[in-house]
């Protein structure tokens, strides 16, 4: 009998996570799609004052329903879809990872199925495993888009309870057109045994999409089974805060309340998130610059003769290399940490500051000379 007596399907599995290396080993960190711009002193001072205020109440449990935060998030989302997002249509947790886990706790589970289309975000199969939900992965096309007829056929065959659709997708950066969301909401709505399944459009990178690419938030009024998730970790430059959220029908938010742990959002998290939302214009202030830098990086990589997936996110997937690990290692040897992920031969680089991207480009040129 081995120890510890973990569930057999978890035995020997390495915990998920990109390598976290200290800044003296990897001064240029472009591996986890963070926003490279930290908050201003004024914003830090406001967050600190709000956290101090919350600290005075730490003997008490926080507001379990986090009404003030849901109201602030609803008003932030209402910029995209005026008048549609009320606080009862918003839910939040410690990162959109936790939001997604709660969705599978409530809508997945034993005897139920979650479906996505690979390559897709590598945490999804883990949420499925942890909630004992059957995991099925269909395929994207060679350019990482979705063929809607094939996707519909897959839904009809698998009859999933939850469809997970990252848009823009990680690791490819591909955004989905609204037709894809509509087709899948309709197909899933009629597929599962009783009453249909839900479609989760994961817009963790939504704010970085190119102009003319609409958010799935606009489709919420048309589809009761649509959930749109967002995070403050990327465009909002607050990965350390751990705050993800979703917009959906109030009945979906109520269902999640059944599975969430009581008081899952600490008083400090709520106060910090509210303060960060008050500084939204500053924190989101570098999104346009990051989008422009992304487009420049894509063009530069193509000029080097590389293949680059179309990106609507703050990263791009490029390749293809016979030995991608050698390229990843060569970059790291030059102080640049990127991510070895995605289909064989491809690598993913997050968009950093102009100085960081120049360091990445110099290092890649040097590494490619040695190949």
**Binding residues for ligand PMP, per CB under 6 A?**
33, 95-97, 121, 166, 170, 202, 204, 231, 233, 239, 244
Q: Which residue shows structure tokens 């065959």?
A: 157
For the CB of residue 233, give the shortest distance to ligand PMP in the complex, in Å: 3
Taking CB atoms, the residue at the shortest distance from ligand PMP is 95
Strand 28-29 to 336-337 pairing? parallel
Smaller CB distance to ligand PMP: residue 33 or 133?
A: 33
Rg (C-alpha) for the chain, rounded Å, is 21
Q: Which is nearer to ligand PMP, 231 or 293 (CB)?
A: 231
Please report how close the Cβ of residue 267 comes to ligand PMP at its closest, in angstroms: 20
**Helix, strand, coil percent values for the chain (each to nearest 5):** 40, 15, 45
Q: Name the minimum Å distance from CB 90 to ligand PMP.
A: 15
Scan for tokens 């309340």, then name that residue. 257
- As a whole number of angstroms, the distance between CA 26 and CA 18 comes to 13
Closer of 225 and 350 to ligand PMP (Cβ):
350
> Cα dist. 61→64, 66, 74, 94, 262 in Å?
8, 11, 23, 16, 9
Output the six-digit token pair for 332: 């790291």
Residue closer to ligand PMP (CB basis): 192 or 309: 309
Minimum CB distance to ligand PMP smaller for 138 or for 166: 166
Q: Closest approach of Cβ 366 to ligand PMP, in Å?
A: 28
**CA angle (282 as vertex; 236, 348 as ends), nearest 5:** 35
Nearer to ligand PMP, 97 or 293 (CB): 97
Residue 328's φ and ψ, nearest 5 degrees, are -55, -45
Smallest separation, CB 83 to ligand PMP (Å): 26
3-state DSSP assignment of residue 308: strand
To the nearest whole angstrom, how small is the minimum distance from the Cβ of residue 94 to ligand PMP?
8
Find out whether 258 and 106 touch, Cβ atoms under 8 Å: yes
Q: Provide CB contacts within 8 A for 259, sequence distance 6+.
A: 102, 105, 106
Q: Which is nearer to ligand PMP, 95 or 196 (CB)?
A: 95
């Amino acid at each position: 009998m081995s120890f510890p007596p973990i569930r057999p399907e978890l035995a020997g599995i390495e915990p998920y996570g990109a390598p976290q290396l200290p800044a003296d080993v990897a001064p240029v960190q472009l591996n986890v799609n963070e926003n490279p711009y930290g908050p201003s002193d004024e914003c830090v001072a406001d967050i600190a004052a709000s956290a101090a205020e919350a600290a005075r109440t730490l003997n008490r449990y926080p507001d379990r329903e986090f009404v003030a935060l849901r109201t602030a998030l609803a008003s932030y989302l209402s910029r995209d879809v005026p008048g549609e997002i009320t606080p009862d249509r918003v839910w939040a947790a410690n990162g959109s990872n936790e939001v997604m886990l709660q969705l599978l706790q409530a809508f997945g589970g034993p005897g139920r199925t979650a479906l996505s289309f690979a390559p897709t975000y590598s945490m999804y199969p883990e949420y499925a495993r942890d909630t004992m939900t059957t995991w099925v992965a269909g395929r994207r096309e060679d350019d990482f888009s979705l063929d809607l007829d094939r996707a519909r056929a897959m839904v009809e065959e698998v009859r999933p309870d939850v469809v997970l659709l990252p848009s823009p997708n990680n690791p490819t950066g591909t955004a989905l057109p609204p037709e894809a969301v509509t087709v899948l909401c309709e197909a899933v709505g009629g597929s599962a045994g009783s009453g249909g399944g839900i479609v989760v459009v994961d817009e963790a990178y939504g704010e970085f999409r190119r102009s003319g690419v609409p958010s799935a938030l606009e489709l919420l009024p048309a589809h009761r089974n649509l959930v749109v998730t967002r995070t403050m970790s990327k465009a909002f430059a607050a990965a350390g805060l751990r705050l993800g959220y979703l917009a959906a029908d109030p009945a979906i938010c109520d269902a999640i309340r059944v599975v969430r742990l009581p008081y899952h959002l600490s008083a400090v998290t709520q106060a910090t998130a509210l303060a960060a939302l008050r500084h939204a214009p500053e924190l989101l202030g570098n999104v346009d610059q990051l989008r422009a830098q992304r487009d420049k990086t894509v063009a530069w990589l193509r000029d080097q003769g590389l293949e680059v997936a179309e990106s609507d996110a703050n990263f791009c997937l490029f390749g293809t290399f016979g030995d991608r690990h050698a390229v990843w290692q060569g970059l790291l040897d030059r102080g640049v940490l990127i991510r070895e992920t995605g289909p064989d031969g491809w690598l993913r680089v997050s968009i950093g500051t102009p100085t960081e991207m120049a360091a990445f480009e110099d290092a890649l040129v040097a590494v490619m000379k040695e190949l």
